[in-house]
A and B are shown apart, each in its own frame.
Chain A
Amino acid sequence: MRIASTLQAIQRRVQWRALLIESARWLPWLLVAVYAGSRAAGARVAIALGVFGLGLLVWRLRHAWKQIDQRWLIRALDHHDRALHDSSDLLFADTATLSTLQALQQTRVRERLLQSGTVDLRAPLPWQLLLTGFMAASLWGLFSWLWQPLTPSMITPSQSSTVVEVQPVVEQALTARLSITPPAYTALPTRESDQLAVQVVEGSELVWSLRFAVQPSAVRVRLLDGETLVLQAIDGQWQGRRRFSSSTVYRIEIEGAPALPTGAPYTIEVLPDRAPQLAISEPQNTLTVLDAAARRWQLTLVATDDYGLAETHLHLTHAQGDGEQVTVNERRIRLRGEGDPLRQQFTQSLDLIGLGFAQGDDLIARIEVRDNRPPTPNLTRSASYILRWPAERGAEGTGVEGLVQKTLPAYFRSQRQIIIDTEALIAEQPRLSAEAVLERSDAIGVDQRLLRLRYGQFLGEEAEEIDSPEGHDHDDHAGEPEPAVGDAAGLIAEFGHGHDIAEAATLLDPATRELLRAALGEMWQAELQLRIGDPEAALPFENSALEFIKRFQQAGRIYLARVGLELPALDATRRLSGERPGRSRTADPLADDAEASPAERTWLALQADASLPLTELLEWVSAQPADDDPQLALLADIDALQQTSDCADCRRRLANSLWPLLTPPAAAPPLRPRANAVGRAYLDVIAPAEAMP
């Protein structure tokens, strides 16, 4: 049956061609779909897509194969060759069942077919369709190759720019790895981060390894203050390192490739190394007063630090002696603690006898703790703890009159003068009339009164009540309202004195006050006698008052640390020339003449919708102490405004961040508003006629 095999060969060839076309049409799409699936959603989805796609393809191929059946072949043959006389179906018919005519025709058709040799019924390859499909699938493939899904390992800034541009189909993407090496002394391990915004310990070194979807020609890390770090390409990875000691924000700039989408900058928050903490449990008070000799003085404290403690020292200051003869010894003792480097406990028992601590001495202890931060460790000093063994009383020194008189020049001068005046009056008394004596005596009495009042000020205002017309009792506190809790002024008024004010200071101890009170009493008597014109009777009281004053002067004494007098160097060229310009300030030195800080100027510019002095503000912020929390937020706000200057929301956020940094100005007395026309007319009417200009 040659004819049968020929027909089958024809059919097979057509079927295979159909399979080829179908495969060529759909296979690129299937491959690209699998690839895109793997990019977008992972391998599992890709496999599922592949299986499903393959199934579809197989079904499609089977369909195409099946379509090329006997009927199709008959029609195709009839269509192909007119010489077959539309009788191709006879080729497949069983000759036995045919009529004679049909058999004849069958034979003719067979011969025709065999004569014509190979009949090519294959559909031509649809090149245009295939190429278009292939191109579209390739584009999709390219797109899915470039498109970066949002997985943690791949970072793209989330906010996209609002500027709509004709973007190339190719988009840039960034895969980052950040290696953070804390400084060695912290003993913290190096860690890796795939986030570009990180929190690091002060002094850490950051190493960026960036990988881009489209290789750029240069990559820089631009810090907020304008400093740039150029990254080096190593094996397709862009690498660079920098050490950070203060918080900042940065952006990544690339050249020679599509830019990264703009968005919020990356922050580097630097956690500073805190100074060590000291907790002193013994002694509990800063002043310990001894009543009797003690053998030892116990110090107990605990020091803690975030990364480790270094040395701890005890500073001892031993002040010995009295009056002018004070000698001071200082020594420094290194303490040995127990515990790990992060928390150490110290117990030091001071041998007072060994130190030579005696009555009248002060021993001042101070602890200094350092941590292990190189190059300059953080230092914490404790308060001064004083151990005092008070001296016995009554051993006041003498011979320091000059010193005391220098400190109190105004008040300690004229009691002697009054005595001299009184003695002169007594001497002249016989030559004077009684009225004249009374008058002069009264004048001296007035002087005596003034002097008494001045001394009275040393006792607070108590001595002054003598002079007030309506006396009142200081113990009579009835009817006085209780000062409210928290009302500092009221508390001071009730219980104490404002020691921060020179005039209100209570410098005298009770014994000295008693001396002064005795002196005032004598002065009282002297004044009385003088006022009634009896200077001779007054003289003993005056002398007695002088005696008390002398004792008073020697009693009250304050010791202050001796500070060297450091005068500015003398400018010999200007000396005695009489020229003051440039040397004397015309403004009041108390007045705050400092210019508005950049924060204040930025605030004002924000309020006025003016251009912002961002560069100055940045410098100013960087100069501020680093442990301010809002600093990083402020830096981010500044960066946002550097990117887009007309962003109302950014301006509002910057204003909010600036607010705590503004220093409120002094509350000035309010000015009255200018008078308007009506007010002026009124004032003109009531103005006194003769007084108007």
Chain B
Amino acid sequence: MAFSGMPFDSLLNHDAVVLTLLSLASFIAMLGVLRNARVSRGVLLALQLPCALLLLGALLLRDAPLSGSMIVLTTGASRDDLAEWDSRNNETSADLTRPPVIALGGVTSDFEDVESAPDLATALRRYPGITHVHVFGHGLQAHDRAVLGSRELSFAPPATANAPAALLEWDFPRQVNVGASWRLRGRVRGDVGLIELRDLADGLEASATPGADGRFELLGTARAVGTVLYSLRLRARASVDAGDDAYLLQTLPVPIYAAATKPVRALLLAAVPSPELKYLRRWASDAGVELDSRINLAPGLVQARNPTAIDAAMLAKLDLLMVDERSWPQIARQSAALREAVGNGLGVLIRITGPVPAAIQAEWRALGLAFELTANAPRAVSLDDGVAPVAGERLHAWPFKTSGNHHVVMLQGAKAQPLAIRMPLGIGRIGVLALTDSFRLATRGEHARHATLWSTVFAELARARAEPAIKVTETAVIGQRTVICGEGESLQVQLPDATRKPLLRDPAAAHCAAFWPAEAGWHRVIVDSPTQTSALAANADRAAPAEQSDEAAADADKPGTAFYVFDSTAIESVLTRQTEVATARLVHRELPPKGVQNDGEFWRRLLCLLWLMLMGTLWWLERRARQRLQQRL
């Protein structure tokens, strides 16, 4: 009983005294009533007990005294921690006894004599009034962190000087677009010579050597739509035979869900052919953009593949319309249809290739785009895209200014001058690109920068057609709460054995539901959305394999994602590190100021009021009884 709770015992004694006194008082009162009262004796007698109960309630219903601390042992805690704590505290104050020590679930082996609790909430219920929690070991799990409330926390992660080499942190996208490359950044501890990323067929996707601080970066590409389980291997050093298991320290699963992308449908209108267009079209074909172009070669001579008229129906099918100021009059004839189409989501990119006539500026202003060139010749600029400028790099852009409330700069130069802006119009967007010669990036050999530039512009402006993202907890682990957020009628999770579980939405968090996975492996989230039928109809013309007519294939078209549930033993080092970091973060969190009135106060006041009223009634009854008695006498 060395650690038995002192406050709890004294509290019990207090309450016992109060209870005894009150019962005694109420008993004496009843006796008095029986002996003295002649009239309304029954009522008087009956009211004594509720009166006593109300007073008792008002006295006992009080805030737990906020004082005291508790030691919580989590996984990784050792006896040395406790011994160290004792020695440290005995130095400062000799008479202080050790606060209660609780071993949370999972910590059993080394602490048989210590009281254990399944979680922190249970421990705090057993010891109300704890204001300070000392945590030893690797830290608190998520459900324990959630119940900490406003209690102070002290925590220091265990020293890792002699810990084996392992992966500590990683960061990679759980969902990528197919064909796009993705990055895995991470940090390892200890002596790791080589880190490999291997694909499904055990082929080497990428490898890296960690830096002095243990950080590394790997690049992978998702080849096809679907769930792909890469594996990350840490080796003590590079072995000659890469397929060998020699020097293997750790193998971790890296689950990536490669989502299908829809191609952007774009139309390019240009008044003159130019190298800019050549490289733009080449990039578009490489990037899978369904680009149709109409380039005027001479008056009346158009290089076009599909010379269909530009009308509302055609604009509704487009995602992005690219036009320059000289070909603007072509679509200005359809301005109402264009405005309607942009309002419904079409993106328009206006490429500035020369001075803009006032009439066209007026038409743009009517669309909400107040645009004005500030010089009569393009100026040399260099892009501010995070790439170190190369000597001799010189692009050109028309300086311009716009006035409007919701203009957003898409691209800017090194001197912070805007090179491209966009503004919303309804659901769609209108953008202006004043850069005239982005092709120079490609001709200099910097194809990646050229592609990034245009990819950014397309992504910002093209019709927002992608399904809303479904968010799943980054690292889902067996037995731990996983949160899935997605808009739609209902959320379902398909387990690895193909059974489905409907999820109940959390009424507090819109569109979110919690899920406790029971087995490791790929889980699929299926969202039934009301707009899904229309989305399917729009996709009907896409080439769907003829065989995929069965139900499973139909589900594949539904918006959804897949997430991987980890076995906690497979990624133990990463989870431990996450727990440590999250717990350490709680140490320095901002605590609410103390002494805040809580709910108990209200009820106590209510009980006091009721007791007062009841006492008043009693007093009045007794007074009347006394009067009657005197009258009778």
**A-side interface residues toward B, CB under 8 Å?**
461, 468-470, 474, 476-477, 480-481, 488-490, 492-494, 498, 501, 503-504, 584-588, 590-592, 595-596, 600-601, 603-611, 613, 630, 655-657, 659-660, 662-676, 680, 683-684, 686-688, 690-693
Contact present for B462 and A604 (CB under 8 Å): no
* A611 to B550 CA separation, bound complex (whole angstroms): 9
Contact A607 B426 (CB under 8 A): no
* Interface status of B181 (Cβ within 8 A of chain A): yes
Contact call B464/A683, Cβ cutoff below 8 A: no
B462 contact from A481, A590, A671, Cβ within 8 A: A671
A461 to B390 CA separation, bound complex (whole angstroms) = 14
Q: Which of A591, A603, A691 has the most CB of B within 10 A?
A: A691
Is B572 on the interface with A (CB-CB < 8 A)?
A: no
Query: What residue in chain B is nearest A680 (Cβ atoms)?
Result: B427
Contact (A665, B392) CB under 8 Å given A501-B442, A608-B556, A671-B264? no
Q: Is B388's beta carbon under 8 Å from chain A?
A: yes
Q: Out of A605, A656, A676, name the residue touching B548 (CB < 8 Å).
A: A605
Q: Is the CB of A468 within 8 A of B226?
A: no
Determine the distance from Cα of A675 to Cα of B424 in the docked complex, in whole angstroms.
Answer: 12
Question: Given A610-B553, A668-B289, does the pair A504, B444 have CB atoms closer than 8 Å?
Answer: yes
B134 sits at the interface (CB 8 A)? no
Cβ–Cβ contact A669 & B201, under 8 A:
no
Contacting A at CB under 8 A, from B437-456, are: 439, 442-449, 454-456
Which one of B203, B391, B550 lies within 8 Å of A660 (CB-CB)? B203
B246 within 8 A of A: no
Contact B391 A480 (CB under 8 A): yes
Cβ of B364 to closest chain A Cβ, rounded Å? 10
Name the prevailing secondary structure of the A interface residues.
loop
Asked whether, in the complex, the Cβ of A691 is within 8 Å of the Cβ of B179, the reply is no
Residue of B367, B445, B455, B552 with most chain A CB atoms under a 10 A cut-off: B445
Are A673 and B203 also in contact (CB < 8 A) when A588-B292, A691-B339 are?
no
- Sample 19 A-B pairs with CB under 8 A, ordered by A number: A474-B392, A480-B388, A489-B444, A587-B305, A601-B545, A605-B547, A608-B556, A662-B224, A665-B179, A666-B179, A668-B261, A670-B261, A671-B464, A673-B469, A674-B466, A674-B468, A687-B426, A692-B425, A693-B336
> Does the CB pair B458–A590 fall under 8 Å?
no
A118 to B: closest C-beta gap in Å: 82
B223 and A662 within 8 A (CB): yes
Given A590-B282, A606-B226, A668-B180; 12 other pairs, CB 8 A cutoff? A461-B394, A474-B392, A503-B443, A586-B306, A605-B553, A609-B498, A610-B550, A659-B224, A665-B178, A668-B287, A669-B456, A675-B464
- Residue from the list B181, B405, B443 in contact with A498, Cβ < 8 A: B443
Residue pair B199, A659 in contact (C-beta under 8 Å): yes
Distance between A409 CB and nearest chain B CB, rounded to angstroms: 15
A477 pairs with B391, CB closer than 8 A: yes
Task: Select one of B179, B291, B467 contacting A667, CB under 8 A.
Answer: B179
- Which residue from chain B places its CB closest to the CB of A689 in the assembled complex? B368
Q: Please state if B391 and A474 are interface contacts (CB–CB under 8 Å).
A: yes
Nearest-neighbor residue (CB-CB) of B531 within chain A:
A674
* A692 CA / B344 CA spacing, docked (Å): 10
- Report yes or no: A660 in contact with B199, Cβ–Cβ below 8 A: yes
User: Which residues of B372-399 have CB atoms within 8 Å of chain A's CB atoms?
Assistant: 379-380, 388-392, 394
Q: Mark B284-305, 1 if CB is under 8 A from A, else 0.
A: 0111111110000000000001
Query: Chain B's nearest CB lies how many Å from the CB of A666?
Result: 4
8 Å CB interface, B323-347 against A: 336, 339-340, 343
Cα–Cα distance between A409 and B458 once the two chains are bound (Å): 36
Contact of A687 among B380, B424, B443, B543 (CB under 8 A): B424
Which of B281, B426, B552 meets A692, CB within 8 Å? B426
The reply to whether A493 and B201 contact each other, CB–CB distance below 8 Å, is no
List chain A residues, Cβ under 8 A from B466: 670-674
Q: Which of B203, B288, B448 has most chain A Cβ within 10 Å?
A: B288
**Complex: A692 Cα to B199 Cα, angstroms:** 50
- Interface pair B305/A588, CB less than 8 Å apart: yes
A494 partner residues in chain B, CB cutoff 8 A: 390
Evaluate contact between B467 and A690: CB separation under 8 angstroms: no
State whether the Cβ of B359 lies closer than 8 Å to any Cβ in chain A: no
Q: A668 contacts which chain B residues (CB < 8 A)?
A: 177, 179-180, 261-264, 287-289
Residues in A with CB closer than 8 Å to B391 are: 474, 476-477, 480
Q: How far is the CB of A332 from chain B (nearest CB, A)?
A: 41
Is B288 in contact with A666, judged by CB distance below 8 angstroms?
Answer: yes
Contact A596 B424 (CB under 8 A): no
A660-B201, A667-B177, A669-B264 known; A468 vs B459 contact (CB < 8 Å): no
A666/B287 contact (C-beta < 8 A), A607-B556, A693-B340 known: yes
By secondary structure, the B interface counts as loop
Task: For residue B331, give the distance in angstroms from its CB to the closest CB of chain A.
Answer: 15
Q: Is the CB of A608 within 8 A of B443?
A: no
When distances are taken between beta carbons in the complex, the residues of chain B under 8 Å from A595 are 543
Report the minimum CB–CB distance from A410 to chain B (whole Å).
12
Q: A498-B443, A608-B552 are in contact. Are A659 and B547 (CB under 8 A)?
A: no
For the complex, what is the distance from the CA of A671 to the CA of B456, rounded to whole Å? Answer: 10
Q: Quote the shortest CB–CB distance from A152 to chain B (angstroms).
A: 29
B436 to chain A, nearest CB (A): 14
A693 partner residues in chain B, CB cutoff 8 A: 336, 339-340, 343, 426
B297 to chain A, nearest CB (A): 14
Q: How far is the CA of A470 from the CA of B380 in the complex (A)?
A: 9
Contact of B445 among A474, A493, A663, A676 (CB under 8 A): A493
Q: How far is the CA of A610 from the CA of B343 in the complex (A)?
A: 40
Bound-complex Cα distance A504 to B531 (A): 49
The 6 closest A-B pairs by CB, nearest first: A607-B226, A688-B368, A590-B285, A666-B288, A669-B458, A492-B445
B474 in the interface, Cβ–Cβ < 8 Å? no
- Shortest beta-carbon distance from A163 to chain B in Å: 21
Which residue of chain B has the shortest Cβ distance to A475 in the bound complex?
B391
List the B side residues contacting A670 at CB < 8 Å: 177, 180, 261, 455, 459, 466
How close is B333's CB to chain A, nearest CB, in angstroms? 17
Q: How far is the CA of A610 from the CA of B554 in the complex (A)?
A: 10
Q: Are A674 and B467 in contact (CB under 8 A)?
A: yes
B32 in the interface, Cβ–Cβ < 8 Å?
Answer: no
Please give the distance in Å from A470's CB to the nearest CB on chain B.
7
Cβ–Cβ contact A673 & B468, under 8 A = yes
- B138 CB within 8 Å of chain A: no
The minimal Cβ–Cβ distance linking B93 to chain A, given in whole angstroms, is 56
**A493–B406 touching, CB < 8 Å:** no
Chain A residues with CB under 8 Å of B447's CB are: 489
**A630 to B367, Cβ gap below 8 A?**
no
Instruction: Please indicate the chain B residues that have their CB under 8 angstroms from the CB of A672 in the complex.
Output: 459-460, 462, 464-466
The residues of A that contact B306 with a CB separation of less than 8 Å are 586
B224 touches A490 (CB 8 A): no
Q: Which chain B residue has the least Cβ–Cβ distance from A606? A: B226
**B86 interface contact, C-beta 8 A:** no
Which chain B residue has the least Cβ–Cβ distance from A671?
A: B466
B222 at the interface (CB under 8 A from A): yes
CB < 8 Å neighbour of A671 from B202, B262, B343, B444: B262
User: Does B487 have its Cβ within 8 Å of any Cβ on chain A?
Assistant: yes
Find out whether the CB atom of A607 lies under 8 angstroms from the CB atom of B225: yes
A591 to B287, CA, bound (A): 10
Q: Given A503-B443, A668-B264 in contact, is the A591-B285 Cβ separation under 8 Å?
A: yes
CB-CB under 8 A from B487, the residues of chain A are 676
Chain B residue at minimum C-beta to C-beta distance from A607: B226
A691 touching B177 by the CB < 8 A rule?
A: no
Q: Residues of A contacting B291 with CB < 8 Å?
A: 588
Q: Does B221 contact A (CB under 8 A)?
A: yes
B72 to chain A, nearest CB (A): 41
Let me know if B289 and A608 touch, CB within 8 A.
no
Contact assessment for A604 and B226 in the assembled complex, using a CB-CB cutoff below 8 Å: yes
**Contacts A667-B287, A691-B339, A693-B426; A659 near B223 (Cβ below 8 A):** yes
Contacts A476-B391, A608-B555, A673-B468 given; does A498 touch B288 at CB 8 Å: no
Q: How far is the CB of B447 from chain A (nearest CB, A)?
A: 8
Are A610 and B552 also in contact (CB < 8 A) when A668-B177, A668-B288 are? yes
